[in-house]
Structure 1
Amino acid sequence: MGKGGEKGEEAGEREAQSRLYSWEEIQRHNLRTDKWLVIERKVYNITTWAARHPGGPRVISHYAGEDATPQLVDDFRALRKTAEDMNLFKADPLFFSLYLGHIIMMEALAWLLVSYYGTGWITTFILSCILATSQAQAGWLQHDFGHLSVFKKSKWNHIVHKFVIGHLKGASANWWNHRHFQHHAKPNIFKKDPDVNMLHIFVLGDSQPVEYGKKKLKYLPYNHQHEYFFLVFPPLLIPVYFQMQIIMTMIRRRFWADLAWAFSYYMRYFIMYIPFYGVLGSLFLLTFVRFLESHWFVWVTQMNHIPMEIDCEKHRDWLSAQLAATCNIEQSFFNDWFTGHLNFQIEHHLFPMMPRHNYCKIAPLVKSLCTKYGVHYEEKSLGKAFIDIVGSLKKSGHLWLDAYLHK
């Protein structure tokens, strides 16, 4: 393979070299101070340029010593060109405006409810459910704007993203981008995808449980992880772990703009609800809303990935890597709304810049391509997807126990 120059000096500038490199030599350049990658069979030294990568240095560094060509299969390139010709990468502003409108409407409805009916237990519970629904839907919407699928190449996309995730959810756009872009670059790859870093609370896939078992690692009784999952992951992820991590990240990394947006969320919330519940009551209400939202978020986001292959780097091509790590959920009006169109996880991972309302249009073409090349395209019902989360954890837990008890 030909050796390119320092990618990122001047556009098009490249060293005039025609030397060929073996994959063994390329793969040795995967260090923090020495990074090469391959694009279109050309080798680039990105050691200094990585710091200026638009998606962040960690994302591009995950490909150090690898082939980072976005699409390797000619037919997949043709499919992407077809999607472009069909204008499937063009967002419908009306769709997202109406979506934002229904979130704001739920926020207003919640306040009107407590204003009219007071703060009784039934009213408070209904209020919490409405607010949790608006929070979950705002989460799916910020996910869209975070991928630059709406008003892309425009500063308005970034402003709306910060408004939705900051003012409507009290979170950080930069924090989300840092985590989520790594997930898309290397889904379900240990040490590269932060979404599979379970902090020793769970063991995932087939290889990690065996590794922990052989090393006699027992931070928790993993053979029971499918049971304590219900006590740890859904109820605590957002109100405890994410809440603390987001605030600490904004302060530590000096994301002052994000902190200001998040502050505007809390200021609006307490202005709206302290007159009815007081300070402590409003804090309890907020925690309960986060608790409900967390259950929704966990089941939806994990159903597409945890039951799939989770392993160390296997250096697959783009198409195969995404299909091994993701699955789809059957389409219906409810499933589309409930999951924020993340039921089309395969199409979303293959075309992360495509607006969600076009996933159903590209899905039949993706299925045909997968059939042609023998790549497994998994689709299941929503109920089975939820069950598979627990079944996958149970299977991994038993693998750990077998390895742990084996002498």
Structure 2
Amino acid sequence: MAKETEKKYITNEELKKHNKSGDLWIAIQGKVYNVSDWIKSHPGGDTVILNLVGQDVTDAFIAFHPGTAWHHLDNLFTGYHIKDFEVSQVSRDYRRMAAEFRKLGLFDNKGHVTLYTLSFIAAMFVGVLYGVLACSSVFAHQIAAALLGLLWIQSAYIGHDSGHYVIMSNKSYNRFAQLLSGNCLTGISIAWWKWTHNAHHLACNSLDYDPDLQHIPVFAVSTKFFTSLTSRFYDRKLTFDPVARFLVSYQHFTYYPVMCFGRINLFIQTFLLLFSRREVPDRALNFAGILVFWTWFPLLVSCLPSWPERFFFVFTSFAVTALQHIQFTLNHFAADVYVGPPTGSDWFEKQAAGTIDISCRSYMDWFYGGLQFQLEHHLFPRMPRCHLRKVSPVVQELCKKHNLPYRSLSWFDANVLTISTLKKAAYQARDAANPVVKNLVWEALNTHG
């Protein structure tokens, strides 16, 4: 009892006040930590911390960090505890489930998926080289282009998994896999991916905090974008001007064509980050990896006999990757959305509301890269994809217990729902006579989230 009286306490309201630069506090399991200096060297970047400072972040910490990370917290402890510390029943069940999965070794057992995928990528790369260098028919060149697109899809899955540190236990090997599969093979910076993807996981389907939903002027998944929201991620206004209104008005028609060229946007985003003044981890290595890609890919294309063939080779390879871009949007575009920062007290609820799974047979898991289990991946981003199908029934039961949505749709049905979501917003964008922000009746009847 004497030790208990020695504890120092603050309330949640007092914790909220520590949310400014140089004074950043968070709480984990009722203990308060000062992350003002640690944020500068946080492996996951500063954005994820800045979005949650001043509140309890226990569930997010459990989701993103291995067990070894708990030992580092001692150096950041302020000596304070939360006086009015409470845990919701949903969070209790989530933490219990995570602990059980950890005991079963589901986070540590990586399986052999990575080895199989890398072997598949190597075989496809050989096939691409053979089709371009050893064959003279246009048909063979197009087959090679399709193979290259499929290679990029599978390589992106490896980059994604390595970015979550779920393919190798050794950090150096894992970083090498990131640079090889991301920068060198696909031309997309792993630094850019980690910067945006961590923010996406944390603020899943927040219209102003999640970069994966901020596609103005081309797409708007909600009429709330018509108010010209300010992106808290990019720190700029997402202006809904006449150009945006016109493009969004036809987004349900342009959706698939735009997806065919989605890779170009990723190239642009990569260069914008690497040439920015923002601190970029391993900037030199990222540049080196990108240079590798922009050496071998143009050389490969130049080996084709004519400019028309070169054009169609590039177009076909890009168009095939549209399958992956579509999948990423199916997982979130038609799910629930909200405006505002993420909160640490409803981690499970926000992930369930903002995700849609894609149902498929187990033999198709390789094609979806494990991301068809989107909710499972969001709840346990450190879990290797080979275990996601195993834990899916447990996650479904927990959602059912707490009356939370668990949406698992076929690829076809997910496409229909996504197009329907885009179509609703498109029709409202066409209503130029009535200011969209004042059309509250339509918003109440048609908005999702």
TM-score by length of 2: 0.78
Change in CA separation of 1:130 and 1:113 when aligned onto 2, cut-off 3 Å:
same
Residue 346 of structure 1: how far off its partner (Å): 0.7
Q: How does 1:1-400 map to 2 (within 5 A)?
A: 18-23=8-13, 25-70=14-59, 73-92=91-110, 94-118=112-136, 120-205=137-222, 207-209=224-226, 217-218=241-242, 219-221=244-246, 222-231=248-257, 233-239=258-264, 241-252=265-276, 253=280, 255-277=283-305, 284=311, 287-313=314-340, 315=343, 316-333=345-362, 335-400=364-429
Residues 114-138 of structure 1 show CA distances to partners (whole Å, capped at 9, x for unaligned) of 33431x3322222211111111111
Residue 404, structure 1, aligned to residue 436, structure 2: yes
Give the counterpart letter for 1:163 in structure 2: L
Contact residue 209 and residue 396 of structure 1 kept, 8 A:
no
Aligned-partner residue type, residue 436 of structure 2: Y
Please give the alpha-carbon distance, in whole angstroms, between the structure 1 residues aligned to 2:30 and 2:115.
Answer: 42
Aligned-pair RMSD on alpha carbons? 2.7
CA-CA distance at 1:268 after TM superposition: 2.8
What is the identity, as a one-letter code, of the residue corresponding to 1:123? A
Identity of aligned residues (%): 24
Distance, in Å, in 2 between the alignment partners of 1:205 and 1:107 is 40
> 1:274-317 deviations in whole A, cap 9, x for unaligned?
33347x67863663255214412221101010100122136351
Deviations 1:334-391 (A, max 9, x none): 5422221110001100000000011011111111111111111111111111121111
TM-superposition CA deviations, 1:125-182 (whole Å, max 9, x none): 2221111111111111211111100113532111112111122212211111111111
Structure 2 Cα separation of the partners of residues 216 and 144 of structure 1: 35
Write the distance in 1 (CA, Å) between the matches of 2:300 and 2:211.
Answer: 35
Contact 1:146-1:177 at 8 Å conserved across structures: yes
Deviates more, 1:167-176 or 1:196-205: 196-205
Return closer, same or farther for 1:148/1:133 CA change in 2, 3 Å cut-off.
same
Asked if 2 retains the 8 angstrom alpha-carbon contact of 1:328 and 1:343, the reply is yes
Q: Where does structure 2 lack aligned partners over 5 or more consecutive residues?
A: 1-5, 63-86, 230-238, 440-449
How much does 1:259 deviate? 1.4
d(CA) in 2 for partners of 1:226, 1:28: 44
Name the SS for the 1:312 alignment partner. Answer: coil
Match of 1:8 in 2: none
Residues 185-236 of structure 1, C-alpha deviations (whole Å, 9 max, x = no match): 1111133211112133322235334677xx98543233332223334x3133
Distance in 2 between the 1:350 and 1:55 partners? 17
SS at match of 2:275: helix
Please identify, of 295-304 and 335-344, the stretch whose mean Cα deviation from structure 2 is larger: 335-344
User: How many angstroms apart in 2 are the aligned matches of 1:171 and 1:211?
Assistant: 29
Paired with 1:216 and 1:75, the residues of 2 have a C-alpha distance of: 41
Separation (CA, whole Å) in 1 of partners of 2:304 and 2:241: 49
Asked whether the equivalents of residues 226 and 240 of structure 2 are also in contact (C-alpha less than 8 Å), the reply is: no
1:26, distance to aligned residue in structure 2 (A): 3.7
SS of 2:25's partner is: strand
Cα displacement string for residues 227-250 of structure 1 (whole angstroms, at most 9, x for unaligned residues)? 23334x3133212x2112212322
2:442 maps to none
In structure 1, distance between residues paired with 2:384 and 2:299: 35
Task: State whether residues 36 and 46 of structure 1, in contact with CA within 8 Å, keep that contact through their aligned partners in structure 2.
Answer: yes
The residue identity in structure 1 corresponding to 2:25 is: W
Q: Which amino acid aligns with 1:390?
A: I
Equivalent residues of 1:190, 1:311 under 8 A apart: yes
Cα–Cα, structure 1 residues 121 and 59, in superposed 2: closer, same or farther, change >3 Å? same
* Higher deviation after alignment, 89-98 or 61-70: 89-98
- State the TM-score, normalizing by the size of structure 1: 0.85
Moved more, 124-133 or 286-295: 286-295
Which position in structure 2 is the counterpart of 1:13? none
Q: Determine the C-alpha separation between the residues in 2 that align with 1:355 and 1:348.
A: 9
